[in-house]
Structure 1
Amino acid sequence: MAGITKNSPTPTEIKLHQKSRLLEISFSDGASFSIPYELLRVYSPSASVRGHTPAQAVLQTGKRQVDIVAMEPVGNYAIKPTFSDGHDSGLYSWDILYDLGARQDQHWQDYLARLEAAGANRDVDTTTPPPKTGGCGHH
Structure 2
Amino acid sequence: MAGLRNDTPAPESITLHERSRVLEIGFADGNTFRIPFELMRVYSPSAEVQGHGPGQEVLQTGKRDVAVVQLEPVGNYAVKPTFSDGHDSGLFTWDYLYFLGSQQAQLWQDYERRLQDAGVDRDAPMAPKGHGDHACGH
- Shorter-chain TM-score range: 0.7 to 0.9
Does the alignment pair 1:36 with 2:26? Answer: no
Offset at residue 128 of structure 1 (A) = 4.1
CA RMSD of aligned residues (A): 1.3
Partner in structure 2 of residue 11 of structure 1: 11
Gaps of 5+ in 2: 130-138
Q: 1:19-98 to 2 correspondence within 5 Å?
A: 19-98=19-98
- Most deviating of 3-12 and 114-123: 3-12
Partner in structure 2 of residue 106 of structure 1: 106
TM-score by length of 1: 0.87
Partner in structure 1 of residue 134 of structure 2: none
Q: Distance in 2 between matches of 1:16 and 1:68?
A: 8
Matching residue's letter, 1:45: P
* Percent of aligned pairs sharing the same letter: 61
Offset at residue 6 of structure 1 (A) = 2.9
Q: Which runs of 4+ in 1 moved over 3 A?
A: none
Determine which structure has more spread, i.e. the larger CA radius of gyration.
1
Offset at residue 124 of structure 1 (A) = 1.8
Q: Distance in 2 between matches of 1:98 and 1:7?
A: 11
Q: Distance in 2 between matches of 1:54 and 1:13?
A: 33
Offset at residue 86 of structure 1 (A) = 0.4
- How many residues are aligned here? 127
TM-score by length of 2: 0.88
Partner in structure 2 of residue 133 of structure 1: none
Q: Distance in 2 between matches of 1:113 and 1:128?
A: 22
Contact kept? 2:8, 2:98, Cα under 8 Å: no
